[in-house]
Amino acid sequence: MLGTVVVNADDLGVARGATLGIVEAHRNGCVTSASLTVTTPFYQHAVDSCVRPFPALGIGLHFTLTSGKPVSPRERVPLLVDERGFFRWRFTSLFRAMAGAGNPALAAQIEIELEAQLARLVSDGIHPDHIDGERHVQLIPGIFECVVAAAQRHNVPFVRAGAEIGAEFLTGGHLARILLTGGPVKSWLLSRLTRRARAHLVQQVRSADSVASYLYTGRMDLIMAKLLGGTPRAGITEIMVHPGIPEESRDLAVGNSEIERYMMDTDRRRELDACIAHRSARGSIPLTTFAQLAEGASA
């Protein structure tokens, strides 16, 4: 069976530069889908400049616990915030906090915030067709189950839990760069979490079969030609990209210095250029959105 591909851009709404990059990657490139963050000051800019003008772009929730400020009232989620009201967590600290028997009080507040983020989209007339997580927090045990349950309640058909395929494209020329960014360790951990997560999916909530790529996150330009240059693999493949215009993200303040630097990195421009360079993939391989896949399955 011929496979299908969703080219999904993360970080819509995180920064002005990210949103402008995604608009360009959709209008003049191969991006068919985007994940929208609702916790930063640039959320409304993303809705007005990207979501509403481009209805063909699939939109999902980029569930966030690591940058910006909660949508929920601070008094309802005190375990999630620091003294300034920003999210206090990072992936590693959340993973540790939820390990073992978990943290019931923290999990309850995460569920409150997840519902609030989904409700914000719905209040703006946006029905998400997928949920993923900033810094992949949706894969953390205890959080993934909350995400799947919320997707089921809100009729969101897809959650990101695709199996990593990036390693098959690894070359010696890429190895040094991947090692410097901790890619192999991240890919190994997220691949293990993905295998666990797929066992916790339910009938109404699906995932892409494959994802590209945890190993190459932030530098998908290195392997885009291989991903989009031939016959797609069987099943659904999600290509995860982070296009942006770095100079438009100056002075970003979301309470997370790593995210702020990431939005300004010149790699965002490289990924944008790669998305534009592979615009022709729209006519040569089956590019789609999660909403279209869900409609096809129901039909």
Q: List the CATH code of the domain at 4-298.
A: 3.20.20.370
49 vs 100, more confident: 49
The arithmetic mean of pLDDT across residues 138-164, rounded, is 97
- For residue range 106-129, list pLDDT tens digits in order: 999 999 999 999 999 999 999 999
| Segment 249-259 mean pLDDT | 96
Residue type, 215: L
pLDDT confidence of residue 1: 46
Long-range interactions of 41-46: CB distance < 8 A, separation 24+ = 41/68, 42/13, 42/14, 42/15, 42/16, 42/18, 43/13, 43/120, 45/13, 45/16, 45/19, 46/12, 46/13, 46/19
Does residue 292 sit in helix, strand or coil? helix
Residues ≥6 apart with Cβ < 8 Å to 217? 183, 186, 240, 242
Domain boundaries, the chain: 4-298
Do residues 272 and 135 make contact, with C-beta atoms less than 8 angstroms apart? no
Percent of the chain at pLDDT > 90 equals 83
- Is the pLDDT at 173 greater than 80? The verdict is no
* pLDDT greater than 70 at residue 258: yes
Could you tell me the pTM of the whole model? 0.95
Q: CB-side exposure of 204: number of CA atoms within 13 Å?
A: 11
For residue 183, is pLDDT > 80?
A: no
How do residues 15-32 score in pLDDT, each as one tens digit?
Answer: 999 999 999 999 999 999
* 257-264 vs 16-27: helix crossing angle, rounded to 10: 40
Task: Tell me the average pLDDT across 184-203.
Answer: 91
pLDDT (0 to 100) of residue 180: 66
